[in-house]
Amino acid sequence: MTAVSPREAAVRVVERVLERGETLDEALEREANQVVERDRPLLQALTYGALRWLPRLEAQVAALTPRSDWRRDPPLRALLVLGAWEAWGLSTPPHAAVSEAVAVARRLGRSRASGMVNAVLRKLHKQTPEVAEDEPTRFALPPWLAEHLRRAWPEDWPAIAEAANAHPPMTLRVDLRQGSRQNAAERLAAHGWTSRPGRVSDAALILDRPCPVGELPGFESGWLSVQDEAAQLAAPLLDAQPGERVLDACAAPGGKTLHLLQQQPECRVVAVDRSARRLRQVAENLRRGGVAADCIAGDAADPESWWDGQPFQRILLDAPCTGTGVLRRHPDIKWLREPSDAQRMATAQRRLLEALWPLLAPGGRLVYATCSIFPEENQQVVSAFVGDHAEAVPGPGPGAGRATGTGYQILPGEAGMDGFFYACLERRGT
Ligand SMILES: C[S@@+](CC[C@H](N)C(=O)[O-])C[C@H]1O[C@@H](n2cnc3c(N)ncnc32)[C@H](O)[C@@H]1O
């Protein structure tokens, strides 16, 4: 197989996301193996940047050509925004970037546009044009999402939008049973990876620059895992005790399952996920940490199909959501979501909560979490649920975020974290 150039593969990745609705992770998984290994970081940098800044990059291109037909030609549009990102955000020498983009235009059967590609990209490398500073362009958000965020967070939304476009840190979680955070930082430093402690989780280390996961010392033994600091707050909040039965209802890929077992190896965990493929990642994560759970592929909203009838003392419902708290890590989410998704998700989340609550033992604790910052998916789901269940009483908070009535909202960028929502409910009764 002949290797494909990273810029051509990047065009295909961007097209897969924008035209076919694939996630960036899926699209990269499909295309990355066509590219030689040393070019994969460039493929990643190109596609993340282009999708993060899409409307701004389109505005830059539009400022430099009277033509508008490129907007209706998906490969040409992708090629131009990728080229614009390369000029604006990456320090590639202009000659290499432009001549390669022109060659890709020809290979894509766009020879007639190659002159325009050449002219526009050359100009972009010389000078970034001024573009309109309307909010969707400045913040690189689809207008409906900018509006939704403004309504939900009238004071904070510009900071949220800024945080959504920031480069995310690579945050590690240290398994404190295997060694202290200080020891882990020293071991990393000995391998050339400097880090600083997180500000909220006592197990968090933030790398000064990202490290390939396979090169992390202590990764294979589960001493170190990659996990944002906000996600590290789930297991301590769940606070499982020795001998307890714990349900991790939407477990894949298993970052939190591993954490809760590392924190409390003497609990018995049932890890459920609808996706059998993703559930295999849970098993792989647990193997790394030398711990085990009962992994079941099933619909958490239909416990009849998998539950053995034994109540759980702890339930973690890390619910599927719009992912609007993690736009900095998944810029494709901005273009894949639709205005109706928050409400659709809220319906599914409420269904999951109703289905799982009866599995909780009296005196037990359920932690509801999402990586969304839409109130519809968070406090509104939980407060409606609490309103219908007198036996559900609020438990402690995660130690971060702002109180929202029911639960706590961590906004993206707060103490350097991803956006996350946590609500803890305890079941009254004996
Ligand atoms: C936010 S992710 C969970 C992340 C995971 N807890 C972790 O920390 O690694 C949500 C997961 O819910 C799963 N899911 C969505 N709907 C589900 C359902 N009805 N039943 C079980 N799993 C579901 C998805 O496959 C996805 O893996």
pLDDT tens sequence across 95-111: 989 999 999 999 999 99
Same domain, residue pair 210 and 87: no
The residue contributing the CA closest to ligand 1 atom 27 is 252
H or E stretch covering 283? helix 276-289
Q: Which of 423, 425, 421, 424 is CA-nearest to residue 322?
A: 421
**Residue of the nearest CA to atom 2 in ligand 1?**
320
Give me the pLDDT at residue 131, please.
87
**289 & 409 share domain:** yes
CA distances to 9, 86, 87, 131, 423 from 98, in Å: 16, 9, 9, 22, 50
Check whether residue 311 and residue 403 sit in a common domain. yes
Measuring from each residue's beta carbon to the nearest atom of ligand 1, which residues come in under 6 Å?
A: 250-256, 272-275, 278, 299-301, 318, 320
pLDDT in tens, 259-288: 999 999 999 999 999 999 999 999 999 999
Q: Cα of 151 to ligand 1 centre, how many Å?
A: 28
Per-residue pLDDT at 429: 83
Instruction: Clarify whether residues 399 and 327 are in a common domain.
Output: yes
Residue 137 lies in a domain: no
Average pLDDT, the chain: 96
Q: What single DSSP character describes residue 35? A: S
- Residue 242, pLDDT > 70, answer yes
Looking at the structure, tell me whether residues 195 and 294 fall in a common domain. Answer: no
Q: What percent of the chain has pLDDT over 70?
A: 100
Q: Is 78 in contact with 14 (CB distance < 8 Å)?
A: yes
Query: Whose CA is closest to 291, among 223, 209, 376, 389?
Result: 223
Cβ neighbours around 217 below 10 Å, total? 15
Residue 139 lies in a domain: no
- Do the domain assignments include residue 142? no
Give, for ligand 1, the residue of 25, 227, 229, 250 to mutate: max count of ligand atoms closer than 8 Å to Cβ: 250
Ligand 1 atom with the smallest distance to the CA of 255 is: 9
The answer as to whether 155 is a domain residue is no
Asked whether residue 198 falls in the same domain as residue 237, the answer is no
CA distances from 114 to 13, 54, 196, 289, 333 (A): 20, 21, 47, 52, 31
Q: Do 363 and 302 belong to one domain?
A: yes
CA–centroid distance, residue 334 to ligand 1 (Å): 20
Same domain, 284 and 387: yes
Domain end, chosen from 73, 104, 132, is at 132
The CATH number linked to 64 is 1.10.940.10
Active site residue 371: yes
Tokens 């289905």 label which residue? 355
* DSSP assignment of 355-401: HHGGGEEEEEEEEEEES---GGGTHHHHHHHHHH-TTEEE----SSS
Residue 36: φ, ψ to 5°:
-65, 155
DSSP 189-237: HHTT--EEE-SS-TTEEEESS---GGG-TTTTTTSEEE--TTGGGHHHH
378: domain CATH number is 3.40.50.150
> Rounded CA gap, 90 and 94, in Å?
10
Among residues 267, 321, 371, 424, the one annotated as catalytic is 371
| pLDDT for 322 | 98
pLDDT in the model for residue 283 = 96
Atom of ligand 1 nearest to the CA of 323: 1
Question: Would you call 316 helix, strand, or coil by DSSP?
Answer: strand
Angstrom CA distances, 34 to 1, 31, 214, 315, 379, stand at 8, 6, 21, 42, 44
Ligand 1 centroid to Cα of residue 299, in Å, is 10
Best residue among 274, 302, 305 to mutate for probing ligand 1's pocket (most ligand atoms within 8 Å of CB) is: 274
What is the best residue among 261, 263, 273, 317 to mutate for testing ligand 1's pocket, by most ligand atoms within 8 Å of CB? 273
Based on the fold, state whether residues 289 and 238 are members of the same structural domain.
yes
CA–centroid distance, residue 125 to ligand 1 (Å): 43
Q: Does any domain span residue 146?
A: no
Closest CA to 25 of 209, 207, 223, 281: 281
- Phi, psi for 38 (deg, rounded to 5): -70, -20
Residue 137: pLDDT band (50, 70, 90) is: confident
- Is 141 inside a domain boundary? no
| CATH value at residue 176 | 3.30.70.1170
The rounded Å distance from CA 277 to ligand 1 centre is 12
**For ligand 1, atom 11: residue with the closest CA:** 250
Ligand 1 centroid to Cα of residue 318, in Å, is 7
Pair (89, 27) in one structural domain = yes
In this predicted model, which residue has the larger pLDDT, 92 or 65? 65
Percentage with pLDDT > 90 across the chain: 95
| pLDDT score recorded for residue 353 | 98
Last residue of a domain, one of 226, 249, 272: 226
Nearest to 154 by CA among 163, 164, 146: 146
Residues 239 and 313 in one domain: yes
Query: In degrees rounded to 5, what are phi and psi of residue 350?
Result: -65, -40
Q: Are residues 221 and 238 in the same domain?
A: no
Q: Which atom of ligand 1 is nearest to the CA of 320?
A: 10
Domain assignment of residue 16, yes or no: yes
Q: Provide the domain limits for residue 370.
A: 231-427
pLDDT of 323-366, one tens digit each? 999 999 999 999 999 999 999 999 999 999 999 999 999 999 99
Provide φ and ψ at 226, rounded to 5°: -90, 120
In a domain, 15, yes or no: yes
Reported as a single tens digit per residue, the pLDDT across 224-233 is 999 999 999 9
Final residue in a domain of this structure, among 194, 226, 258: 226
What total number of domains does the chain contain?
A: 3
pLDDT at position 1, please? Answer: 65
Give the list of residues 6+ apart from residue 145 with CB closer than 8 angstroms, or none.
324, 334, 337
pLDDT-based confidence at 38, cuts 50/70/90? very high
pLDDT at residue 134, as a whole number = 84
| Tokens found for residue 2 | 């002949």
